[in-house]
Chain A
Amino acid sequence: MAEHIDAPFEIAGVRLTSRLIMGTGGAPSLQVIDEVLAGSGTALCTVAMRRVDPATQGSLLDVIDARGIRILPNTAGCRTAAEAVRTAQLAREALETDWVKLEVIADERTLLPDPVELLDAAQALVADGFTVLPYTNDDPVLARRLEQAGCAAVMPLGAPIGTGLGIGNPHNIELIVSDATVPVILDAGIGTASDAALAMELGCDGVLLASAVTRARRPALMATAMAAAVEAGRAARLAGRIPRRHHAHASSPIEGMPVL
């Protein structure tokens, strides 16, 4: 039976009311974060873990909590499995959640995931009781290994973080989607609304993005655009696109043309 448009979006048995997951990085202020969260309609947003800065004004957690949004701490900046595991443990202690967006990057220039460290960290965190959502390369084999390791979702990149290049290898995303039995969330590389729609048309269960919204000229407006794109892309996926043809195929009847 075909999936219904209103089918719930669930990760690890938790129902989320939006398929758009928001990162909070890159915004110029808490006010903008608040506007973006509101505009996106998101039910889940990421945060990073860093040293306390006594000079910080306002509370990010207050902004997120006031909107009733679930928090997904990340391990951004970690370069090894050991660092990522330690950061996840700190996040669990700080935020009292065992959900973690697992990031283990190879280098600062590309911010691409290090597949060896990523899989090691995923295995360790699953064994420690975490609900692991790994940011991964668009590699179907690695995605499969992460799922086999017990990850609650797989989150392949469309393009490197912050590039806004869109989805560089749609075929690989389709392969990941076709194999996965856990949610597939397109994470990173989204530049504009059509990229988010494409991710959903390829069969992704959700989209995670930050820079495309927080660094847009009008972040709140872009947040609403992304929310609409995710919904439109999912509807189009479920509706089924027409096949691509090499030649034209008239939609008006050929028969009954008047003789003029």
Chain B
Amino acid sequence: MRVAVNGHDLDISDGTSLLALIEQHAGSARGSAVVVDGVVVPRRTWPDYAVRPGQHIELITAVPGG
């Protein structure tokens, strides 16, 4: 299925969890936050959150700044 991750279309397996997607992209879930279709998804729900086709996902993390 196809989703948009940080503005890029991406093909992922059906049933992929949000946690798996984050680990695939960020290397680790530590220090990450996720917005799906404009809604912040709480960290504790990531393992059981099944990504659905067409969702727009923003993966956020800490970078040098300030």
User: Residues of A at under 8 Å CB distance from B?
Assistant: 23-27, 33, 46-54, 56, 59-61, 71-74, 76, 86, 89-91, 93-95, 101, 103, 208, 210
Check if B33 sits within 8 Å of A25, measured CB to CB.
Answer: no
Cβ contacts under 8 Å, B60 to chain A: 49-52, 90, 94
A90-B40, A93-B42, A93-B43 given; A48·B62 CB < 8 A: yes
Residue of A whose beta carbon sits closest to that of B59: A52
Give the 9 A-B CB pairs with smallest separation, nearest first: A48-B65, A46-B66, A94-B33, A47-B62, A93-B33, A23-B66, A74-B66, A52-B59, A24-B64
Cβ contacts under 8 Å, A47 to chain B: 62-66
Cβ contacts under 8 Å, B66 to chain A: 23-25, 46-48, 72, 74, 76, 101, 103, 208, 210
The answer to whether B55 has its CB under 8 Å from any CB of chain A is no
Cβ contacts under 8 Å, A27 to chain B: 64
Interface size range of chain B in the complex: 20 to 34
CB distance from A192 to the nearest CB of B (A): 19
Offer 26 A-B interface pairs, CB within 8 angstroms, sorted by A: A23-B66, A24-B64, A25-B66, A33-B64, A47-B62, A47-B63, A48-B63, A48-B66, A49-B61, A49-B63, A50-B65, A51-B7, A51-B61, A52-B6, A52-B32, A54-B25, A54-B26, A59-B31, A61-B31, A71-B62, A73-B62, A89-B40, A93-B34, A94-B62, A208-B66, A210-B66
Check if B64 sits within 8 Å of A25, measured CB to CB.
Answer: yes
Check if A93 sits within 8 Å of B62, measured CB to CB.
Answer: no
User: Residues of B at under 8 Å CB distance from A?
Assistant: 6-7, 25-28, 30-35, 40, 42-43, 58-66
Cβ contacts under 8 Å, B7 to chain A: 51
A46-B66, A50-B60 given; A94·B31 CB < 8 A: yes
Total A-B pairs, Cβ < 8 A: 90
A76 partner, pick from B26, B34, B35, B65, beta carbons under 8 A: B65
Check if A24 sits within 8 Å of B65, measured CB to CB.
Answer: yes
B32 partner, pick from A33, A76, A94, A210, beta carbons under 8 A: A94
Most A Cβ at <10 Å: residue of B6, B64, B66: B66
Q: How far is the CA of A160 from the CA of B42 in the complex (A)?
A: 36
CB distance from B27 to the nearest CB of A (A): 8
Cβ contacts under 8 Å, B40 to chain A: 86, 89-90, 93
CB distance from A32 to the nearest CB of B (A): 10
Cβ contacts under 8 Å, A103 to chain B: 66
